[in-house]
Amino acid sequence: MRSLRAFAAALLLCAGCGGALLGPAPSDNYAALFDDVWRQFDLHYAQFDLRRVNWDSVGARYRPQALAARSDAELAAVLGRMLGELRDVHVSLTPFGPGSTIRYVARFDTAATNFSADVVFERYVVLSAFTNERHLQYGWATPTIGYIRIPSFSGAAWDGDADVALEALKGAESIIVDVRNNPGGNYTVAKSVAGRFADDSRTFGYLKLRNGPSRGDFTGYLPERVSPDGPRQFRGRVFVLANRRTVSAAENFVLAMRALPSVTVVGDTTAGASGGPIVRELPNGWTFQLSEWVEFDAERRTFEGVGLAPDVAVRATALDAKRRTDAVLERALGMAR
C-alpha cells in the first residue's frame, strides 16, 4: 500500500509540470509585438501583390518607430499607420477592446450615396415589418412587388429570416432586394440568403486563399457556388439594389445574385472590398484582422478596389435626397411593373 501511495504522489507531481513543456510565454515588449504583427501578415495576408505593397520595406520603415514608442497608445498608432499602408478596409487593429478599432478609411466609406431607408419605408413601401431579430425589413412596394431590405449580413445562422420574409411576400410577382449601404458581415449567411432566389446550382465567382508561408502560396481558383437554399425559392423576377457602400459580404451577395438569370442589379458600383478577413491576437490581448483571400468574379477578374458594376446604372443625387425621393428604387419599380 505504501508503494501505491508513492505512485499516486508521483502522478500528482507530474500533473503540475505540463505548462513548462510548452515553452516560455511569448514576449509582449514592443519589438516582439511589432514583429508578431508583421510576421502574421507575412504568413497570411493575401493582397500584397494586388495592392503593390513591399511588405519588407514597410516593416523596415515602421519597426524603429514601434521600438521608439513610449506607450501602448503610441505603439497602436504606429501599427495602425503601418497597416494603413495596405489601404485595405478589412485590415484593422483593435488594441483596447470594443470601440478602439483602427482601420484604413477608404473613399467609399465617406462617399455620399444619397440613400435613406427611412425614405423607402415612408414613401414607397407599405405594410412593412421586421423579422424577429431585425435582420430583414420587408413590405409591399405595389400589390405585386415585394421589397426586402437587408441592412447588414452581420451575425450567424439567421438566413432563415429570408424564408419569413418570402412567406410574407407570397404572391409577389417581383421582389426588390435592397443591399444599399450594407457593410457586409457573414459570407455564409449572404450566400445562403442568395440561395433563396436560386433556380439551380451556379458558379458565381472564384476565391484564391493564402495557404502557405511564401507570399505567393495560394490555392488554385476555388469555385464559389450558389445553390437553392431554404424550404422554397422565389422564382419571379428579382431586382437587387446596390451602391458604393455595398461592401464585403454584401458584394458576395450581389455577385451570387447576378449569376442567377432572374436577377437584375440596379444602382451604383459596389465598394470593391472582399478579402475574407480572419482575426488574430497578440500576446498582450490586442486583436487584429487581415484579408486572407482574393475574390474573383465568374470571369476570374478580381473586383478588389474596383467594385461590381450594376446591370442598370442609376446614381442617386443630392437633389433626390433633398426631395426625399429614391431614384434607384423608382427605376427598379419601373422595370418590375
Partner 1 sequence: MTRIMAATNAAGLTLMYAALAGAQSPAAGGGVGASSLSVLAGVAQNERRDLTASPLAFAGRGIDLTVNYARAIGSFTLDAAVQGGARRLASSDADPSSSERLTEGQLHVALLRRIDGAAASAPGFSVGLALDGSGAFTAHDYGHAGRPISNFVLGSAAIGPAASWKQRIAGGAATIALAAPAVAVVAHSYSVINRPTMGAELRFVTPGLWRGAGGTVTYAPADDRATGLVYRYRFSLLRYDDVQPVRAVTQSVSVGFTMRFGARRS
Q: Please give the grid coordinates belonging to residue 151.
A: 441592412
Q: Please give the grid coordinates belonging to residue 165.
A: 420574409
**Looking at 13, 18, 118, 334, which residue binds partner 1 (CB under 8 A)?**
18
Only segment of 114-122, 217-225, 226-234, 326-334 that touches partner 1 (CB under 8 A): 217-225
Nearer to partner 1 by C-beta: 22 or 127? 22
Nearer to partner 1 by C-beta: 69 or 209? 209
The count of residues interacting with partner 1 (CB under 8 A) is 50
Cα–Cα dist 103/35, whole Å: 19
Cα–Cα dist 248/328, whole Å: 21
Residue 335 in the binding site for partner 1 (CB under 8 A): no
Residue 19 in the binding site for partner 1 (CB under 8 A): yes
Residue 254 in the binding site for partner 1 (CB under 8 A): no
In the window 222-241, what residues touch partner 1 (CB under 8 A)? Answer: 222, 224
Angle between helix axes 249-257 and 187-194 (nearest 10 degrees) is 20
In the window 24-43, what residues touch partner 1 (CB under 8 A)? Answer: 25-26, 28, 36, 43
> H-helix or E-strand containing 195?
none
Q: SS in 3 state form for 63-113?
A: HHHHHHCCCHHHHHHHHHHHHHCCCCCCCEEECCCCCCCEECCCHHHHCCC
**Looking at 13, 52, 71, 98, which residue binds partner 1 (CB under 8 A)?**
98
In the window 267-296, what residues touch partner 1 (CB under 8 A)? Answer: 276-285, 287, 289, 292-293
Only segment of 110-118, 179-187, 296-304, 320-328 that touches partner 1 (CB under 8 A): 179-187
- 316-321 CB contacts, 8 Å cutoff, 24+ apart: 316/113, 316/114, 316/115, 316/243, 316/268, 317/114, 318/112, 318/114, 320/114, 321/114, 321/115, 321/116
> H-helix or E-strand containing 3?
helix 2-15
Nearer to partner 1 by C-beta: 35 or 330? 35
Q: Which residues contact 212 (CB under 8 A, 6 or more apart)?
A: 218
Residue 9 in the binding site for partner 1 (CB under 8 A): no
**Looking at 162, 194, 207, 250, which residue binds partner 1 (CB under 8 A)?**
207
Residues at the interface with partner 1 (CB under 8 A): 1, 3-4, 7, 11, 14-15, 18-19, 21-23, 25-26, 28, 36, 43-44, 94, 97-98, 154, 156, 185-188, 207, 209-213, 219, 222, 224, 276-285, 287, 289, 292-293
